[in-house]
Amino acid sequence: MSTPTLDDCAARDAADPLAHHRDAFVLPDGVIYLDGNSLGALPKTVDGRLQAAVTEDWGQGLVRSWNDAGWIDLPATLGAKIAPLIGAPAKEVMVADSTSVNLFKLLVAALRLRPDRRTILMEARDFPTDLYIAQGVAALMGDGYALRTVPTKDIAAAIDETVAVVALTHVNFKTGAVHDMAGLTACAHGAGALTIWDLCHTVGALPIDLAGAGADFALGCTYKYLNGGPGAPAFVYVPQRLQADFHQPLTGWMGHADPFSFVDDFTPADGIRRALSGTPTILSMIALDAALDVWADVDMPALRAKSMALSDLFIKLVEARCAGQGFALASPRDAARRGSQVSFRHPHGYAVIQALIARGVIGDFRAPDIARFGFTPLYTRYVDVWQAADVLFDIMETRAWDTPQFKTRAAVT
């Protein structure tokens, strides 16, 4: 089959049922943004909503806005907006804190539900914060608690009667490989273990059915495909069947049954609200609230179909045009087993990404050798994919990456 041309891509954009969503985003001129899986683009709704929240609700309403502007309910309001994107009822999702903090809460709560078991099972090479938090939890619990990490292919076989909880990131941040959520959850349940699913690289990119998969707990961040903005708060999912026995360790006043009774002793709130700890980060939540409006009429199966088509196109173009340039596909070739990103290993991956960024094509680098490209179907066009591959081709042909300027690592890669 011949390599798709720029005209072919323009024709696909013209026929794309999601194309109009691009108008909902602020996208800088001269930039092809393939890093929405790290920090989503700015939805146009956010600026005005933040302005109003600052000047009116904060500036004029002051402390009254906790009631009058609905601030106190934002963790639940936002949870209810995210719920349909993850296959959960509204009463099972809260927005609070960060992914790292919520993982700490969920791990401890899960271990408490399986007091006769001592092992947290995770995938080797998962996102570092997930592994680090689990190490911290095991150290804090003491008494034989341990994190065990295994390679991807060994996960199912490693779930035995010592495992209390299997905590997995659904889509791997480096390779984009997708786990079989329903299958591994069933496997964990068969051995008496609980599951925690990290949806950071899934939510807003792949349709998810937590309830259908029988997942026990889940969490994820909102600044990647959900476009909530830098440092946007995370979400946490606890199904109703587990809520009464869910006892997370960060028992702050917002998770109390009656926060404004100001009593000395902690009594957890009924339901999912006990997942909260302290005061919600209102300005970040308002930005997220505005960003989530974009999702009201997004057809998730169409989104997934476009995500697979964009990433398939990129693989095809890079492999055709940059053959012999040292790129090795690090993502599954089968789109059904891949999230919304494509990763290539390259010995000079960092410099190549820097050279691309200098030309307006923004991807990112994940050590030691991964050049990573995210495809956000709401605002990425087929022509963008073509142009990105074209710039990459040029950079490789001219060795534009091979200069000291592109080899000095910045703090954030």
- Secondary structure, 3-state, the chain: CCCCCHHHHHHHHHCCCCHHHHHHEECCCCCEECCCCCCCCEEHHHHHHHHHHHHHHHCCCHHHHHHHCCHHHHHHHHHHHHHHHHCCCHHHEEEECCHHHHHHHHHHHHHHHCCCCCEEEEECCCCHHHHHHHHHHHHHHCCCCEEEEECHHHHHHHCCCCEEEEEEECECCCCCEECCHHHHHHHHHHCCCEEEEECCCCCCCCCCCHHHHCCCEEEECCCCCCCCCCCCCEEEECCHHHHCCCCCCCCCHHHECCHHHCCCCCCECCHHHHHCCCCCCHHHHHHHHHHHHHHHHCCHHHHHHHHHHHHHHHHHHHHHHCCCCCCEECCCCCHHHECCEEEEECCCHHHHHHHHHHCCEECEEECCCEEEEECCCCCCCHHHHHHHHHHHHHHHHHCCCCCHHHCCCCCCC
User: What is the distance between the alpha carbons of residues 255 and 272, in angstroms, rounded to a whole number?
Assistant: 9
User: What is the distance between the alpha carbons of residues 86 and 259, in angstroms, rounded to a whole number?
Assistant: 29
Is 127 a residue that touches ligand PLP (CB under 6 A)? yes
Among 12, 21, 81, 201, binds ligand PLP (CB under 6 A): 201
Binding piece for ligand PLP, criterion CB under 6 A, among 4-12, 97-105, 115-123, 147-155? 97-105
Is 100 a residue that touches ligand PLP (CB under 6 A)? yes
Is 221 a residue that touches ligand PLP (CB under 6 A)? yes
Annotation marks residue 224 as catalytic: yes
Is 343 a residue that touches ligand PLP (CB under 6 A)? no
Among 45, 99, 175, 380, binds ligand PLP (CB under 6 A): 99
Considering the complex, state which of residue 115 and residue 128 has its C-beta at the smaller distance from ligand PLP.
128
Annotation marks residue 127 as catalytic: yes
Is 98 a residue that touches ligand PLP (CB under 6 A)? yes
Considering the complex, state which of residue 173 and residue 327 has its C-beta at the smaller distance from ligand PLP.
173
Is 413 a residue that touches ligand PLP (CB under 6 A)? no
Is 129 a residue that touches ligand PLP (CB under 6 A)? yes
Considering the complex, state which of residue 57 and residue 198 has its C-beta at the smaller distance from ligand PLP.
198
Catalytic residue among 217, 223, 235, 365: 223
Catalytic residue among 225, 372, 375, 406: 372
Binding piece for ligand PLP, criterion CB under 6 A, among 75-83, 94-102, 140-148, 150-158? 94-102
Considering the complex, state which of residue 100 and residue 162 has its C-beta at the smaller distance from ligand PLP.
100
Annotation marks residue 372 as catalytic: yes
Annotation marks residue 105 as catalytic: no
Is 135 a residue that touches ligand PLP (CB under 6 A)? no
Binding mask 29-58 for ligand PLP (x = CB under 6 A): ------------------------------
Binding piece for ligand PLP, criterion CB under 6 A, among 9-17, 123-131, 287-295, 339-347? 123-131
Is 200 a residue that touches ligand PLP (CB under 6 A)? yes
Is 198 a residue that touches ligand PLP (CB under 6 A)? yes
Among 16, 92, 130, 384, binds ligand PLP (CB under 6 A): 130
Q: Where in 148-177 is the site for ligand PLP (CB under 6 A)?
A: 169, 173
Q: How far is the CB of 185 from ligand PLP (least distance, A)?
A: 17
Residues 6+ away with beta carbon under 8 Å from 340 = 37, 171, 176, 201, 205, 206, 225, 307, 310, 311, 374, 375, 376, 377
Q: How far is the CB of 165 from ligand PLP (least distance, A)?
A: 16
Annotation marks residue 366 as catalytic: no
Radius of gyration of the chain (CA): 22
Binding piece for ligand PLP, criterion CB under 6 A, among 2-10, 95-103, 134-142, 401-409? 95-103
Binding residue count for ligand PLP, defined by CB under 6 A: 12
Catalytic residue among 130, 198, 216, 384: 198
User: What is the distance between the alpha carbons of residues 238 and 169, in angstroms, rounded to a whole number?
Assistant: 16
Which residues are known catalytic residues? 127, 198, 223-224, 372
Instruction: Name the residues that contact ligand PLP, by CB under 6 A.
Output: 98-100, 127, 129-130, 169, 173, 198, 200-201, 221
